[in-house]
Amino acid sequence: MIVSLKASMKEADVAKMAKELKGFILKEGTQRLIVTSSKLKSIPASFEKWVKKSIVFDSDIQLASRKYQEETRTIYLGNGRTIGGITGNTVMIAGPCSVESKTQIKESAELLVEMGIGVLRGGCYKPRTSPYSFQGLGLEGLKLMDKMRKKHGLSIITEVKDATHVADVIEYTDIIQVGAKAMYDHGILRACGQVKKPVMIKRGFGSTLQETVQAAEFILSGGNPNVILCERGIRTFESKTRFTLDLCGVAFIKEYTNLPVILDPSHAMGFRYGIADLTRACVAMGVDGLIIEVHPKPDTALSDAAQQLNHADFKALYSTLAPVATAVGRQIV
């Protein structure tokens, strides 16, 4: 239940009520809210006098629900890019899977500048499933990304894979990416709830839509309203492609939640060949953003070599997107 409180209610009473209802206290402008479990269906009589309005929910999709806020959240990503709301923007995010070297990330950044793309991706902490694979450059990578930000004014997004480096990622990035394998990590989610930077949660490949939106609720109920979801493919019985991009799930997110949604066709497909078609499909679906893996020399990439586009192919793809966006009343930014 989401309860809006009257202005006359004292802070001490708010705290007491929240404690009794096991709820979270949130402030939205001058409005104070208490958010409790959705199992609570009515307000105890003793608190009724302070309640301005309350909304009851079927499940723990509450702050993220269109029933709470009908319009999609509007979130500023830095570098002039806004996602969601009434913008009609489909924000392009591009860059390599991993930050590998100063030269590589410099070439990536320059590509984006040349193309007028505003948000640079690049993994520094790689959630590899084998200890014997490249694990990312860590803090050194973050600093390389930071240089590109300062030099080119690019917004930076990078992935946090566990709670040990969440503070560093929060410090250095413009947008915090909660990795698909870290979607349930309360240490990360809690930390992300305590800042105001935009957070993009990647849906776990084995995670339901309900769980994914509830991961967002951890951050929203923690006090950070700037949460974006990212669909990047789920794990199914089909093994010809790396994952299965779940556009039906995207339709669900668009219908029932107020969270902007970004699509990652690169990880879903796992192979270069299908990415152009999938990206155009995502644009026509009317999503709020795209995140594409691009690498100066994909064949030598230290991770995800098979799915990263080279610069020429990415440019060719990019040039086809604007007409599709226009056809559905949106624009690529």
What type of residue is 1?
M
- For 132, phi and psi rounded to 5 degrees? -95, 5
Q: Quick check: 288 binds its own copies (CB under 8 A)?
A: no
Strand boundaries in 79-231, DSSP class E = 81-84, 89-95, 119-121, 155-160, 175-178, 199-202, 227-231
Q: Tokens 């309860």: give the residue.
A: 3
**CA gap 34, 54 in Å, rounded:** 9
Neighbour count for residue 119 (Cβ, 10 Å): 25
- Among 46, 186, 196, 316, indicate the residue that binds its own copies (CB under 8 A): 186
* # residues near its own copies by CB under 8 A: 87
Strand pairing category for 74-78 and 81-84: antiparallel
Of the candidate residues 278, 292, 309, 332, the single one contacting its own copies (CB under 8 A): 278
Does residue number 168 form part of the binding site for its own copies (CB under 8 A)? no
Strand partners, 314: none
**Gap between the Cα atoms of 270 and 236, Å rounded:** 14
CA 196 to chain centre: 13
As a whole number of angstroms, the distance between CA 1 and CA 61 comes to: 10
**3-11, 20-28, 73-81, 148-156 -> range binding its own copies (CB under 8 A):** 20-28
262 makes contact with its own copies (CB under 8 A): no
44 is a site residue for its own copies (CB under 8 A):
no
- Contact between 283 and its own copies by CB under 8 A: the answer reads yes
| Residue 302 is a binding residue for its own copies (CB under 8 A) | no
Of 44, 116, 153, 206, the one binding its own copies (CB under 8 A) is 206
Scan residues 208-247 and list those touching its own copies (CB under 8 A).
Answer: 208-211, 214-215, 217-218, 221-222, 233-247
Residue 195's SS3 state is coil
Which span (69-77, 150-158, 206-214, 290-298) binds its own copies, by CB under 8 A? 206-214
For the bound state, the minimum distance from the C-beta of residue 105 to its own copies, rounded and expressed in Å, comes to 21
Q: Which is nearer to its own copies, 108 or 308 (CB)?
A: 308
Q: Select from 217, 187, 200 the least CA-distant residue to 158.
A: 200
**Cα gap 80→117, rounded to integer Å:** 11
Minimum Å distance from CB 24 to its own copies?
7
Q: Does 127 bind its own copies (CB under 8 A)?
A: yes
- Whether the CB-CB separation of 95 and 120 falls below 8 Å is answered with yes
* Helix (H), strand (E) at residue 263: strand 261-263
Interaction of residue 88 with its own copies, rule CB under 8 A: no
Binding mask 99-118 for its own copies (x = CB under 8 A): --------------------
Minimum CB distance to its own copies, residue 73 (Å): 18
User: CB 320 → its own copies: shortest distance, Å?
Assistant: 7
Q: Does 249 bind its own copies (CB under 8 A)?
A: yes
Choose, by CB under 8 A, the member of 4, 101, 135, 310 that binds its own copies: 135
